Structure 1
């Protein structure tokens, strides 16, 4: 018998929506939705997640990246990453 390899959870193809850009400003990093002319300020977690999406990383890999970058346990990182992904999807800046 072969052990089943744990399948990595993907971001289900989630990426920034067309017309949405990541911009560095004097006040930090923002997502700019050119379709609506709206800006969304990113904190450090948001920046890691957005950059990871740009690298086509899955949720599990993003969570590992967050755990490595911060003094946080995997359960907390997973909840935070998933909440951020849900929020940017709800705002329409990710598809």
Structure 2
């Protein structure tokens, strides 16, 4: 599971940013991450959009979690798990480094 393990956060996802060649595009069908290096698109939901926009602003995982808690009726533990899972996923996909 992503997030905290033995009281420590997953340092591998702190300090992420969008990879070079990856951009956020608004389309008629919603917002996507476009990986121009490989011509791939990734549809973003509302959480994904908050996370990606926060990364563009240089926010770390904890700041993103606080933003999600403020925006939605969700507890900090759930928000932390969801944000960290999303960050790990976009890192695995190569659209964040």
The TM tier, using the shorter chain, reads 0.7 to 0.9
> What are the Cα deviations for residues 8-43 of structure 1, in whole angstroms up to 9, with x where unaligned?
x98533100000000000000000000000000000
Structure-2-length-normalised TM-score: 0.85
Question: After the TM superposition, which parts of structure 1 deviate over 2 Å for at least 4 consecutive aligned residues?
Answer: 9-13
Q: CA RMSD in A?
A: 1.4
Shift of 1:58: 1.2
Q: Please give the alpha-carbon distance, in whole angstroms, between the structure 2 residues aligned to 1:60 and 1:89.
A: 17
TM-score (norm 1): 0.87
Q: Distance in 2 between matches of 1:12 and 1:79?
A: 13
Q: How many angstroms apart in 1 are the aligned matches of 2:70 and 2:48?
A: 15
Structure 1: where are the runs of 5+ without partners? Answer: 1-8
- Aligned length in residues: 87
Q: Which has the larger radius of gyration?
A: 1
SS at match of 1:22: strand
